[in-house]
Amino acid sequence: MTTLPIPVASPFFHYHQNQLFVENCSIKALAQQYGTPLFVYSKAALVHQWHTYQKVIDTYPNTLICYAVKANSNLAILNLFAKLGAGFDLVSGGELFRVLKAGGDPAKVIFSGVAKQVWEIEAALDAGIKCFNVESIPELDLIAQVAQRLGKKAPISLRVNPDVDAKTHPYISTGLKENKFGIDINVAAAIYQKALDNPFLEIKGVDCHIGSQITEVAPFVDAADKVIALLQQLKEKGIALSHIDMGGGLGIRYLDEEVVEPLEMVRKIKDKLHKAGFDNLQLVLEPGRSLVGNTGVLLTQVQFIKPTEARCFAIVDAAMNDLIRPTLYDAYHGVLPVLIQDIPKQTYDIVGPICETGDWLAKQRELAIQSGDYLVVESTGAYGFSMASQYNTRPRAAEILVDGEQSYLIRERETLAQLVALEHIVE
């Protein structure tokens, strides 16, 4: 057995006799059984990643881990995390619906997002969620109005924007003043006072989320310092909180990134809270990518090899509608052949069938492949299927979960009939 020197290639993804396996399942056999494109997830890898956060809970019991549903919202994965004890961070009423359907505990649900609608607020209040993360004064007013109409008291925390540079891609940086997220931390104390005076609001905590794919501890520490300064202001005003939510954002290894362990990051935040006298506050974290990113791959088949004067293209049946991260973020994903062959290597751009020059999954990769071969695109457990579309009227891929020698279809491949089922021709 050869363990691959790349991020997703843990003991859960490995070569055996020159064929790629996920756990004890041949990936080629999975391709032949389920077709391609296909998202393939390892249950053992998912459980392994959860245990990196379970170490945090074991070390600091007053901690709640709320999985960020947007990273991968498949019901089977949500159900697995619910059984492991996870709470959930969500950003829409649809995600709330999914969490409840998957057996999630609403008392462990944090509802984030900048544009909550009335029906979403109603559904969350009816479900009895743990807390709303409020991102603007108008949103605070709307939540209070809905709570008053329903005769309920809405649990809230303010998502504060600390103006901290997460040093990540600008599209996934959320803690700077120019970002749309959160409330300026410098005016947050006055807004907490406003919430305190409203009988239909119940102050629970403070929230801060500065971005995604963060590979250094320093931005989290900088944000914690600013949030702790706010906690001290609130304490002086007699405003008591029960939790501090430091969001998610820990990165994963796509190529050669140095990955921060959750416990390392939490230990530094806990030390700050201890020194400031806020040990009593529950710490809430909202990991997404770091729980699921390296637990899945996108399986695709080479349709044609197309050499040109400038480039050699491997045209595959997966496309930007299946995995938009490369063209949206210029993101790197590893690409592996399912079968290791003794044929000459060539440098390829891996591209899909969509009518866009931006339809590429990887560029300039050295591979020994030919038409008909299968490839896997690594690290697609997060923001793969969850960001997929039906562009070019392409049915979205199927998803499967592998558990040892067994594989389970956890989302069926869409059909063309389903793509047009909700449309109507006007006579």
Residue 30 backbone phi and psi in degrees, to 5: -65, -40
Looking at the predicted structure, is the pLDDT value of residue 4 above 80?
no
pLDDT of residue 171: 41
pLDDT of residue 212: 84
For range 275-287, the mean pLDDT: 96
Q: Which residues are catalytic?
A: 355
The residue extents of the domains of the chain are 2-42+293-420, 112-287
pLDDT of residue 163: 76
Give binding residues as ranges.
249, 286-289, 325, 329, 356, 383
Confidence of residue 180 (pLDDT cuts 50, 70, 90): low
For range 29-37, the mean pLDDT: 98
For range 184-192, the mean pLDDT: 93
CA gap 260, 213 in Å, rounded: 10
Taking only the tens place, the pLDDT of each residue in 284-302 is 999 999 999 999 999 999 9
**Between residues 165 and 11, the one the model is more confident about:** 11
Is residue 101 exposed (0-12), middle (13-18) or buried (19+ Cβ within 10 Å)? exposed
Confidence of residue 51 (pLDDT cuts 50, 70, 90): very high
Looking at the predicted structure, is the pLDDT value of residue 179 above 80?
no
Architecture of domain 2-42+293-420: Beta Barrel (2.40)
Taking only the tens place, the pLDDT of each residue in 361-398 is 999 999 999 999 999 999 999 999 999 999 999 999 99
Q: Is 112-287 a CATH 3.20.20.10 domain?
A: yes
pLDDT of residue 178: 55
Average pLDDT, the chain: 93
Worst-scoring range by mean pLDDT, 57-61, 176-180, 388-392?
A: 176-180
Give binding residues for substrate as ranges.
289, 325, 329, 356, 383
The first and second tokens of residue 373, run together, are 């071969």
pLDDT of residue 355: 94
Looking at the predicted structure, is the pLDDT value of residue 172 above 50?
no
Taking only the tens place, the pLDDT of each residue in 200-259 is 999 999 999 988 899 889 989 999 999 999 999 999 999 999 999 999 999 999 998 888
Share of the chain above pLDDT 70, in %: 94
Confidence of residue 169 (pLDDT cuts 50, 70, 90): very low
Taking only the tens place, the pLDDT of each residue in 304-338 is 999 999 999 999 999 999 999 999 999 999 999 99
Q: Return contacts of 3-7, CB within 8 angstroms, 24+ apart.
A: 4/336, 6/334, 6/336, 6/378, 7/252, 7/253, 7/254, 7/255, 7/294, 7/334, 7/378, 7/379
Looking at the predicted structure, is the pLDDT value of residue 66 above 80?
yes
17 Cβ contact partners less than 8 Å away, ≥ 6 residues apart: none
Confidence of residue 174 (pLDDT cuts 50, 70, 90): very low
For range 415-425, the mean pLDDT: 97
